[in-house]
């Protein structure tokens, strides 16, 4: 006859195994929908197959290009500068262990899914240099660990959600060269203290945007300089779809402080 403590231990073990199985299933659905929503003209994602989606990780080892694993879950996706087309699926929110999501410098279009707010462990979000349109989802403020948000050089419209100013860890923020309008939220424009202040270069190139730290008038001129200094880079975001982003390279380390240690990765 099984003793009471032993029976309790078995119940806990079974519960943990069941939770792990559900989490693995969520990753499978997440990765399947992501792959189905993308076009990969240069065939970088050749090992993104249904059999690999069923078991993308073995401990810290990833079996998927661009993925890094931690304890059997995908916790980083880095698919930047691969000439990918398509959209970002809402089901990406099922990869609930994600701490870093980098889809920058591609040709992705459509909206930023509001469902990404379910990625409660997310520390880095880089969707820059794409063709994304629509508003910035205010629900991203629910990702309390976010400390790096880069959305520059897209076709985003609407206002900057003031809720993003509630992200206490946020230390890098760039929405320059989009089609945003309205006043910059004071919680972002006046940010100071231990974290860096977001200066004008984070907001320039949006013709309808105004307020501190931009100068007088709307759009703020060309803080990034170069060929796009006239403030219309949001209208030509596609020209930067494959261009290396040195600003990202300088800031990437900021998002690593709250994450787990790197696994072997799938690169």
Condensed to tens digits (0 to 9), the pLDDT of residues 183-240 reads 999 888 775 554 446 889 999 999 999 998 887 666 665 444 322 333 344 444 444 4
Cα separation of 98 and 33, whole Å?
15
Cα 84 to Cα 76, 79, 107: the distances in Å are 18, 8, 6
Q: How many CB atoms lie within 10 A of CB 35?
A: 18
Query: What would the mean pLDDT of 40-54 be, rounded to a whole number?
Result: 95
Query: What would the mean pLDDT of 100-115 be, rounded to a whole number?
Result: 98
- Name the nearest CA neighbour of 76 among 36, 108, 31: 31
Q: Which CATH superfamily is domain 4-256 in?
A: Ribonuclease Inhibitor (3.80.10.10)
Residue of higher predicted confidence among 24 and 160: 160
Handedness of CA 105, 213, 190, 179 (dihedral sign): negative
- Which of the 8 DSSP states describes residue 248? H
Cα separation of 158 and 219, whole Å?
14
Cα separation of 133 and 179, whole Å?
9
Q: How many CA atoms lie within 13 A of 74 on its CB side?
A: 30
Under DSSP, is residue 194 helix (H, G, I), strand (E, B) or coil?
Answer: coil
Cβ contact 162:139 at 8 Å: no
pTM of the model: 0.77
Cα separation of 138 and 131, whole Å?
19
Handedness of CA 26, 172, 244, 236 (dihedral sign): positive
> What's the pLDDT score for residue 183?
94
| Domain boundary assignment for the chain | 4-256
């Amino acid at each position: 006859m099984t003793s009471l403590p032993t029976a309790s231990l078995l119940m806990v073990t079974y519960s943990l195994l069941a939770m792990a199985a559900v989490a693995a299933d969520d990753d499978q659905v997440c990765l399947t929908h992501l792959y189905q929503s993308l076009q990969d003209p240069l065939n970088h994602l050749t090992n993104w197959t249904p059999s690999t989606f069923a078991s993308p990780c073995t401990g810290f080892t990833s079996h998927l290009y661009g993925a890094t694993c931690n304890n059997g879950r995908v916790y980083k996706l880095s698919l930047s500068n691969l000439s990918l087309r398509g959209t970002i699926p809402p089901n990406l929110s099922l990869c609930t262990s994600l701490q870093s999501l980098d889809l920058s410098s591609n040709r992705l279009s459509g909206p930023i899914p509001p469902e990404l707010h379910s990625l409660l462990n997310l520390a880095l979000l880089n969707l820059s240099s794409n063709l994304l349109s629509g508003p910035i989802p205010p629900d991203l403020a629910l990702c309390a660990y976010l400390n790096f948000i880069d959305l520059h050089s897209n076709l985003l419209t609407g206002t900057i959600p003031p809720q993003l100013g509630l992200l206490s860890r946020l230390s890098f923020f760039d929405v320059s060269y989009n089609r945003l309008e309205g006043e910059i939220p004071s919680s972002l424009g006046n940010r100071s203290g231990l974290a860096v202040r977001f200066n004008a270069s984070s907001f320039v190139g949006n013709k309808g945007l105004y307020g501190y730290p931009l100068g007088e008038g709307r759009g703020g001129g060309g803080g990034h300089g170069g060929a796009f200094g006239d403030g219309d880079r949001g209208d030509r975001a596609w020209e930067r779809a494959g261009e290396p982003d040195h600003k990202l390279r300088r800031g990437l380390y900021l998002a690593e402080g709250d994450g787990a240690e790197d696994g072997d990765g799938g690169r």
